[in-house]
Copies of this chain bind each other. A is one copy, B any other.
Amino acid sequence: MQIAVLLYDRFTTLDAVGPYELLARLPGAETVFVAKEPGPVRGDQGSLALVADKALGDVPRPDIVLVPGGPGSREAMHDPEILDWLRTADATSTWTTSVCTGSLVLAGAGLLAGRRAACHWLALDELAPLGAESTGERVVVDGKYVTAAGVSSGIDMALHLLGRIAGDATAQTIQLLTEYDPQPPYDAGSPAKAPAAIVAHWRGQAEKVLVQE
């Protein structure tokens, strides 16, 4: 079982590391971070780089493909080298997955045509023009395509995947060992729950949040 996590400039680091931390604990799994070129790839906040150990071409047939989101998804979703790799990897993958605006990259590769998908709440409207049907769900499973909403939702996605791949007991074990018993001190994690003024403000700043940062 090989898991490939795609990195590209200005990805959001938690989109990748959240599900990685859980999925990589799957017994027997080998996880590889890949990018157009091996080496450090800097995330969207500028202060953290993750190392891609392999180039895209070194990992042509992963069992699980994971695409994080981030402002750099706007370039990645039009990058022929990344899109070619995604299409090739998807041809033999068991699961093709994304977090946040990573679903726009999958859609850019034509992989979500006619499928239901999740995305960051500020970018949900961008799925339809790419042929996918947006939903307000946190994790969407449509066939082998599993997409998650914004940033932190990849952790929930990983638990869904672990359950389907290895069964409930393995998923529960990994939840326990990573102590994923969320107790946020606020209940503002979705536009339906956050204070309306905050949601309205950021709806007007979507371009800034999703593209420029």
Task: Determine whether the beta carbon of B156 is less than 8 Å from that of A185.
Answer: yes
A74 close to chain B: CB less than 8 A:
no
With A47-B53, A53-B47, A163-B186 known as contacts, the answer to whether A181 contacts B138 (CB < 8 A) is yes
Please tell me how many copies of the chain the complex holds: 2
Binding site for B on A (CB under 8 A): 12-14, 17-18, 20-21, 24-25, 30-33, 40, 45, 47-51, 53, 100, 120-121, 138-139, 149-153, 155-156, 159-160, 163, 168-169, 171-173, 175-186, 188-191, 193-195, 198-199, 202, 209
Q: Which of B33, B48, B149, B194 contacts A33 (CB 8 A)?
A: B48
Task: Determine whether the beta carbon of B190 is less than 8 Å from that of A172.
Answer: no
Task: Determine whether the beta carbon of B179 is less than 8 Å from that of A153.
Answer: yes
Task: Determine whether the beta carbon of A175 is less than 8 Å from that of B194.
Answer: yes
With A13-B17, A202-B177 known as contacts, the answer to whether A40 contacts B47 (CB < 8 A) is no
